[in-house]
Amino acid sequence: MAARQRPDDTQGVVSSEQICYSCHDGYVKDSRDIVWKFNRHPVFVKPSKNVTVPPELPLSVKGEIYCGTCHSAHGKGAAPHGDPTGRTAVYRERNIDSSLCEMCHKSQADYKTSNGHPLHTTALKLPEKLYMVGAKRATEKNKVICQSCHRVHGALGERILLISNKNSELCMICHVDQKNVVDTKHDLRITLPREKNIKNQPLSESGPCGACHTPHNAAGKKLWARPLKKGTPAAPQLCLSCHGDKTPYKIKRTGRYTHPVNVPPLRGGQTKGLPLFAEDGTKDPRGRVQCFTCHNVHRWDPNSPSNKGGKDVEGDALNSFLRISNFSSKLCLKCHTDKKPVITSDHNLTVTAPEEKNAQGFKASVSGPCSACHVPHNAVEKHLWAKALPGGKDFVSRLCAACHNKDGAAKKKLIGDNYHPVNVTLANLNITPPLPLYDGAGNKTVSGKLVCLTCHEPHTWDPEKRVIKNYAYKNMEGDATNSFLRKRNAPSSDLCKTCHVDKALVDGTDHDLNVTAPQAKNLLGQTVKESGECGACHLVHNSPNKIKLWARKYGKIAPGEEIIDSLCTSCHSKGNPGEKRIPLIATHPDDKLINNVMRSDKNAIDYAPIYDKKTGELTHVGNISCATCHNAHQWSPLVKKKGSGKNVEGNATNSFLRNVSYNNICIDCHGLDALFRYKYFHDPVERVETSPPGYNIVK
């Protein structure tokens, strides 16, 4: 402290309090008696460590602040009252916009580094009421100065505040919107009555605002009055100082699985009107998502400022200090706009399962469509999951099975015992589809596995009609064009072929039932238009048949025939779509075991698969079956292209043959004679070796 002191050992008579009081005693009816009324700036005390008194403002011989520290009858500020230059009678220095105050209170004046209330800003409109209770006007309208809140003489509140602030009365004169916090759960006088702020002030002294905010030397931005951990972003801590999992308070916690904070907004900063904040908690349009992006911490009910909730009132999606009501998930969809199609879909449980409750006991009609599956705090699992998860299976399948189980909300839409494999590493199969893959935690990753979400987008019913106009608000029966598929799978196999590329060559061929049997139905009663062309023969879910997830009733086979042949005879038999293409003889003589080790390369022209007689699984030793010589998905072995869309008469060079006659598995046993055996395999007359009468003739 470098302030100049009087050299002698006595207080100057002319600057003693008695001399001042000789005029300022109220004898003359003007403002001078205010000096001795109510509260005033401390005098005859030594400056605190937070104050630096400059040499221009002398202290007493005892090193104390006294009247003469600020006043002198002949000082620079000695001028008629109301001087436009800011000079006021008997000030030692000019006091323009509280500049005299700032000479000593440098820390408070340097509010940005000391985390104090902003000064010299005009961002907020200062109400006239503030001046009615004694605030001093600045040189600019709405400019905040020290004397906007403090009064050096005649202050009615402690710490020379204009009025008492024990109930935050002074704060609320300017911060009108924030006064809604009174009597809510964020009024700590109700929820944590024994709590003190970082200045050790009890709530009876600090008021509802002072429990969380202090105007000078705060713990961080936002004038924070509660402890903050160093080295971590301040913004999340503002809320987590009370709501964190490691706090001692018995109040709402965020839980292990909670909405991310201090993260960039989705899709390049689009939050549809919700505010973003810097890491220190200040508003920043280029900032990040923080707790108060979604929450208005000063108002319980966004639709009704008079609704205060109450200490024991359980909040829901309509209140809970939300910035806007989350009715119909309007708040969620401000950021997650791509999930909006779920509103017009069967996954909107407010429509399809209105009585279903999430893990927190809320119905979708109360919590909103999003919260039927996701909750922002205290979720059950990753991805903010809001429902109890069944055991077993991969993580993503468990998410889906939370509803799609025999007792769940989607108990009428199960996958059955036989369904498309999931939790499969496609890289091992040399498949790299343009569809999302997921790791064990349910996160998208290029090195992940195929799971339910690889083919299904649970928020969009129709991949080509994101929002369904005139939604009927009922359970809609899906087909291969919608049903939350990522791509339509009808009339062509657009979804299936992303992985099963070689199988897509069936499009437009005789095996495409769109061409040859559009009215034929699979075991689920679906026409090819409803199931998609793949679904005419294979069922992704609920297949009664395990082998190849076969979608048709197994055909008849003679004793000793391969089970895989029953797939072909399910169509190529009387009364079925392929009844005009029934071979007179269709099997290789039994008990002639074949080894295909040298012809097991799927990419080779001489590939000849052998199947287990009972299970239909691929093996290397067994008998020849229909599928050994025929590739049901490709019309010609040498031409890899789709069909013409017409029913075509085949010959010995196409007709879904797997390979050419001069390079096939028959050669291994029959040598040059194989050419004729291969060509006349289905002809009982020309065939070289015959079977017992009627044994292998298909009826």
Question: Is residue 621 in some structural domain?
Answer: no
| CA distances for 464 relative to 130, 467, 473, 476, angstroms | 59, 9, 19, 16
Question: Is residue 43 in some structural domain?
Answer: yes
Is pLDDT of 655 > 90? yes
Counting other chains too, the contacts that 653-658 makes at CB distance below 8 Å and 24 or more residues apart are 655/630, 656/509, 656/510, 656/511, 656/630, 656/631, 656/632, 657/629, 657/630, 657/631, 658/607, 658/608, 658/627, 658/628, 658/629, 658/630, 658/631
DSSP state of 584: S
Which whole number is the average pLDDT over 511-537? 94
**Predicted confidence band at 31 (pLDDT cuts at 50, 70, 90)?**
low
**Predicted confidence band at 11 (pLDDT cuts at 50, 70, 90)?**
low
Is pLDDT of 84 > 70? no
**pLDDT of 9:** 43
Q: What is the pLDDT of residues 93-103, one digit of tens each?
A: 989 999 999 99
Question: Is residue 24 in some structural domain?
Answer: yes
**pLDDT of 78:** 77
**pLDDT of 217:** 93
Mean pLDDT, rounded, of the chain: 89
Burial of 52 (0-12, 13-18, 19+ CB in 10 A): middle
Question: Is residue 382 in some structural domain?
Answer: no
Which whole number is the average pLDDT over 232-237? 87
d(CA 478, CA 530): 8
**pLDDT of 471:** 64
Asked whether the beta carbons of 389 and 398 are under 8 A apart, the reply is: yes
Which residues span the domain enclosing 43? 1-123+132-145
Which whole number is the average pLDDT over 117-135? 95
**Predicted confidence band at 562 (pLDDT cuts at 50, 70, 90)?**
confident
Q: What percent of the chain has pLDDT over 90?
A: 66
DSSP state of 458: T
**pLDDT of 267:** 73
- Outline where 24-110 has alpha helix (H): 67-70, 99-104, 106-109
Question: Is residue 6 in some structural domain?
Answer: yes
Is pLDDT of 25 > 80? no
204 compared with 29, residue with greater pLDDT: 204
Q: Is 605 left (phi over 0), alpha (psi -120 to 50) or beta?
A: alpha
Is pLDDT of 276 > 60? yes
Is pLDDT of 636 > 50? yes
Is pLDDT of 441 > 80? yes
Q: 57 is written with which tokens?
A: 């403002």
d(CA 135, CA 148): 5
Question: Is residue 111 in some structural domain?
Answer: yes
Structural domain count of the chain: 1
Amino acid at 627: A
Contacts of 357 (CB under 8 A, 6+ apart): 363
Q: What is the pLDDT of residues 59-69, one digit of tens each?
A: 988 899 988 89
**Predicted confidence band at 419 (pLDDT cuts at 50, 70, 90)?**
very high
Amino acid at 477: E
**Whole-model pTM?**
0.83
**pLDDT of 698:** 44
d(CA 473, CA 352): 8
**Predicted confidence band at 696 (pLDDT cuts at 50, 70, 90)?**
very low
Question: Is residue 590 in some structural domain?
Answer: no
Is pLDDT of 150 > 80? yes
Q: 544 is written with which tokens?
A: 């009664």
Question: Is residue 85 in some structural domain?
Answer: yes
- Specify the DSSP element, H or E, that contains 515: helix 513-516
